[in-house]
């Protein structure tokens, strides 16, 4: 049989895994050498860089969460120090039988889902418009993203005024087209959606930026191929482009949900106090109110833990997905 070797033209055959280096330091004494052997040659020397920040985060974030779990098991009321000798799940049971908690949980859920979906949809629409090879693209993009740079406290001021019953822009517009005024903040059935809308105003630009990055990563050939195949613009986006934005959608929705969980600042500033308008109480506001207005420390800790678990159930799968995709 005749055969001849193919010339290998591709370069770089390095099977490198710098991490598995277990070089011993000449200067190292027993324990350091051992640590380096186990963790890799730069472990000890590089720890001066990552260890202090890591300890800070470890203590303040993870230490605090564990501490919070402990407090939630006591019946601490804010005087002296919590009594850790008698731990039970009483506060969690109390939460489940507290209609205020259930309402807040439901509201949190509605806010989370409603806000995220609305914002993603608007953000995607904005990104597609911006991506249509327009002039002054930078100006449009900058202004659409502008509300994101504002504080929740500031946007709450603007929207309190927008939603004002007598003189707010929205009601003025409604009456000018012959509709009745709506009490946006005062109606328990409406207020949550008013909040969703205001938050959408603040964060649609964020979703737009994420989607825009995703759109820009799609090769031009895909647009051209769809055109050549005779797809209409709408169908091209629906069948070819949007399916490729899965990654952007996932990361944007996780971040948006986390923003929604932090909507406390907005609701607090809307009314200037711990008690949000009726119908808009969410776990984040209830937790802070129970702790700092009612001094139910243990109870608020339990609410905080449940809020945390809610966040974890969103972020956990996301981080796992990122890890699997090799983005970490």
Partner 1 sequence: MGTLELDRLTKVFQDGEEGEIVAVDNVDIQMDDGEFIVVVGPSGCGKSTTLRMVAGLETVTSGNIRLDGRVVNDEKPQNRDIAMVFQSYALYPHMTVAENMAFGLEESTTLPDDEIEERVHDAAETMGIAELLDRKPSELSGGQQQRVALGRAIVRDPEVFLMDEPLSNLDAKLRSQMRTELQRLQAELDVTTMYVTHDQTEAMTMGDRIAILNDGKLQQVATPLECYHEPANQFVAGFIGDPSMNFFDMERDGDTLVGSRFEYPLSQSTLDDVGETRNVTLGVRPEDVEVGTDESGSHTYSAVVEVVEPMGDENTVYLRFESAPEGETFIATIDGLQQAAVGDRVTVSIPEETIHLFDGRSGEAVHNRRLDMNDEISSPPT
Partner 2 sequence: MSDETRTDGGAVSAAGSDQPAGLLAEIDAYRVALYLGLLAILAFFLIPIESGLVTSFKTSTGVSGTLPFAPPTPEVFTLAKWQTAFDALARGLVNSALYAVPATVISALLGSFAAYGITQSNWKPKYKAPILALFVAGIFIPYQAVLVPLSQFWSMVPLQEALGFVWALGISSDYTGVVELIVTHVAYGLPICTVLFRSYYKNMSEEMIEAARLDGASIRRVYRRIVLPLSGPMFAVVLIYQFTQIWNDLLFTLVLVQTESSTAAPIVLILAGLGQSLEGQDFALRMAGAFIAALPTLAVYIMFGEEFAEGVAT
**Residue among 94, 91, 100, 97 at smallest CA distance from 276:** 100
Among 27, 132, 189, 243, binds partner 2 (CB under 8 A): 132
Q: Which parts of 27-46 interact with partner 1 (CB under 8 A)?
A: 41
Q: Which is nearer to partner 1, 28 or 125 (CB)?
A: 28
Is 191 a binding residue for partner 2 by CB under 8 A? The answer is: no
CA distances from 84 to 66, 81, 93, 321 (A): 13, 9, 18, 37
Residue numbers 59-118 binding partner 2 by CB under 8 A: 59-65, 67-68, 71, 81-82
User: Which of residues 8 and 138 has its CB atom nearest to partner 1 in the complex?
Assistant: 8
Residues in contact with partner 1, total (CB under 8 A)?
25
Q: How many residues does the chain have?
A: 328
CA gap 283, 306 in Å, rounded:
9
The angle at the Cα of 173, spanning 167 to 175, to the nearest 5 degrees, equals 80
Q: Computed from CA positions of residues 275, 280, 286, 287, in that sequence, does the dihedral angle turn out positive or negative?
A: negative
Is residue 86 packed enough to be buried (19+ CB in 10 Å), middle (13-18) or exposed (0-12)?
A: exposed
Among partner 1, partner 2, none, the one that 15 touches (CB under a kind-dependent 5 to 8 A) is partner 1
In the complex, least distance from residue 154 CB atom to partner 2, rounded to whole angstroms: 5
Q: State both tokens at 84.
A: 């850790």
Contact window for partner 2 (CB under 8 A) among 1-9, 88-96, 160-168, 187-195? 160-168
Per-residue buried b or exposed e for 195-225, using 16+ beta carbons within 10 Å of the residue's own CB: bbbbbbbbbbbbbbbbbbebbeeeeeeebee
Interacting partner of 8 out of partner 2, partner 1, none (Cβ under 5 to 8 A depending on kind): partner 1
Of positions 24, 34, 51, 165, contacts partner 2 by CB under 8 A: 51
Identity of the residue, 192 or 210, whose beta carbon is nearer to partner 2 in the bound complex: 210
Scan residues 1-20 and list those touching partner 1 (CB under 8 A). Answer: 1-5, 7-18, 20
Binding site for partner 1 (CB under 8 A): 1-5, 7-18, 20-26, 41
């Amino acid at each position: 049989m005749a055969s001849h070797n193919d010339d290998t033209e591709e370069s770089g055959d390095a099977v490198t895994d710098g991490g598995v280096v277990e070089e011993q330091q000449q200067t190292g004494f027993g324990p350091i050498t051992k640590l380096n052997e186990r963790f890799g040659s730069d472990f000890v020397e590089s720890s001066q860089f990552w260890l202090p920040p890591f300890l800070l985060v470890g203590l303040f974030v993870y230490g605090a969460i564990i501490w919070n779990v402990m407090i939630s098991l006591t019946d601490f009321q804010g005087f002296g120090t919590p009594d850790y000798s008698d731990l039970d799940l009483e506060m969690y049971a109390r939460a489940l039988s507290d209609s205020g908690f259930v309402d807040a949980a439901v509201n949190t859920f509605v806010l989370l889902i409603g806000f995220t979906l609305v914002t993603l949809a608007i953000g995607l629409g904005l990104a597609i418009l911006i991506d249509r090879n327009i002039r002054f693209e930078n100006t449009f993009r900058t202004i659409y993203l502008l509300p994101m740079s504002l504080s929740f406290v500031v946007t709450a001021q603007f929207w309190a005024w927008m939603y004002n019953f007598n003189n707010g822009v929205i009601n003025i517009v409604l009456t000018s087209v012959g509709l009745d005024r709506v009490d946006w903040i005062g109606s328990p059935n409406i207020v949550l959606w008013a909040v969703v809308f205001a938050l959408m105003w603040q964060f649609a630009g964020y979703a737009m930026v994420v989607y825009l990055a995703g759109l820009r990563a799609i090769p031009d050939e895909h647009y051209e191929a769809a055109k050549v195949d005779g797809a209409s613009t709408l169908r091209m986006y629906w069948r070819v482009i949007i399916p490729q934005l899965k990654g952007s959608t996932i990361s944007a929705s996780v971040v948006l949900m986390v923003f929604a969980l932090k909507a406390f600042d907005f609701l607090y500033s809307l009314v200037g106090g711990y008690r949000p308008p009726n119908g808009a109480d969410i776990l984040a506001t209830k937790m802070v109110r129970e702790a700092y207005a009612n001094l139910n420390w243990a109870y608020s800790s339990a609410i905080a833990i449940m809020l945390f678990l809610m966040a974890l159930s969103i972020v956990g799968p996301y981080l796992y997905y990122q890890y699997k995709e090799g983005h970490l």
